[in-house]
């Protein structure tokens, strides 16, 4: 973070009462300190983000994910102020913002770089979706209550065919999200790996994989039975969705820019795991 913060972009889901209250409180405190506040909405947001020192997202993890995708191309650091539920990605809670404000404005919070996924869908060799980015995960999932086939390759190497309810492709940041519920490992966010977690695979042998991100991952929706119909979708962070058809190719790789996450200097990743998830408790 910069040693001094002079301008802030403020993001919040104003339709939610707690987030709206936090956003108004944050805006007032910043204005009282002489900090310029711009709202992170509207058609001119790209121009605004070129001039701010810091972005603040008031809300929960959903707001953090949405804001991260907006900020990533501009390399603007983001501080999450949790006024929602779990708030795993947030740097502080809303009730602590006032007493931590001086530390924030003086650049005493630490900044971690997190990498993002970039995905696009090709249909008949033409791009029909994307490129879209995700901080947590890219999920391919069936609409129907039935399993379907996905063919997966890493670069030029064929990996395997999956038969199940779908696949979760996640970053280390996303390893504590949907992938965790699907039996995937918890991965330190500093690692440069991609997690591939099958959703309810109909086999005893297919388990989550940890793969290098230096190569592109290719996934195809394939037909294994005559007249088989597949209704599936791809979802980026559970917020940007696209319907898939048989034969579609999904291409997933590491996004060329990192996302800068601002955190409290005394709050480690594993301390957050223990506090938020009760990790290690008996």
Beta pairing, strands 78-82 & 92-93: parallel
Which helix (H) or strand (E) covers residue 163, if one does?
strand 157-164
Q: Are 218 and 153 in contact (CB under 8 A)?
A: yes
Q: Other CB atoms closer than 10 Å to residue 70's CB: what's the count?
A: 20
Instruction: Give the Å distances, CA to CA, from 80 to 76, 106, 138, 139, 250.
Output: 13, 17, 22, 24, 31
* Backbone φ, ψ for residue 178 (5° rounding): -60, -40
**17-32 and 97-105 helices cross at what angle (nearest 10)?**
50
Q: Rounded CA gap, 194 and 203, in Å?
A: 22
Set 61, 165, 237, 248: catalytic member: 61
What are residue 140's DSSP bridge partners?
Answer: 167, 234
Token pair of 125, please?
Answer: 């060799």
Q: Are 23 and 10 in contact (CB under 8 A)?
A: yes
If you compute the radius of gyration of the chain from its CA atoms, what whole number of angstroms results?
Answer: 20
Beta pairing, strands 217-222 & 54-59: unpaired
Beta pairing, strands 217-222 & 148-154: antiparallel
Active site residue 61: yes
Is-cis flag, bond preceding 131, omega within 30? yes
Q: Rounded CA gap, 281 and 70, in Å?
A: 36
Question: Which residue numbers are catalytic?
Answer: 61
């Amino acid at each position: 973070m910069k040693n001094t913060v002079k301008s802030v972009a403020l993001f919040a889901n104003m339709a939610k009462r707690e987030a709206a209250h936090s956003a108004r409180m944050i805006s007032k405190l910043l204005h009282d300190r002489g900090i310029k506040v711009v709202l992170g909405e509207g058609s001119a947001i790209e121009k605004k983000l070129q001039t701010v020192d810091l972005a603040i997202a008031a809300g929960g993890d959903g707001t953090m994910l949405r804001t991260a995708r907006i900020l990533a191309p501009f390399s603007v650091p983001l501080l999450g102020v949790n006024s929602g539920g779990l708030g795993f990605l947030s740097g502080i809670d809303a009730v602590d913002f006032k007493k931590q404000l001086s530390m924030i404005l003086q650049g005493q919070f630490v900044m971690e770089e997190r990498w993002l996924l970039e995905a696009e869908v090709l249909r008949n060799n033409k791009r029909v979706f994307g490129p879209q980015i995700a901080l947590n995960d890219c999920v391919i999932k069936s609409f129907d209550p039935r399993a379907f086939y996905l063919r997966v390759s890493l670069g030029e190497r064929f990996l395997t065919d999956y038969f199940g309810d779908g696949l979760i492709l996640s970053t280390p940041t996303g390893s504590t999200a949907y992938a965790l519920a699907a039996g995937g490992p918890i991965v330190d966010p500093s690692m440069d790996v991609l997690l591939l977690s099958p959703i309810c695979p109909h086999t005893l042998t297919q388990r989550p994989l940890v793969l290098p991100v230096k190569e592109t991952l290719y996934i195809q929706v394939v037909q294994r039975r005559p007249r088989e119909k597949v209704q599936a979708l791809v979802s980026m962070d559970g917020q940007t969705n696209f319907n898939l058809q048989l034969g579609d190719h999904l291409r997933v790789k590491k996004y060329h820019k990192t996302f800068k996450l601002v955190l409290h200097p005394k709050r480690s990743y594993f301390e957050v795991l223990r506090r938020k998830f009760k990790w290690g408790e008996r």
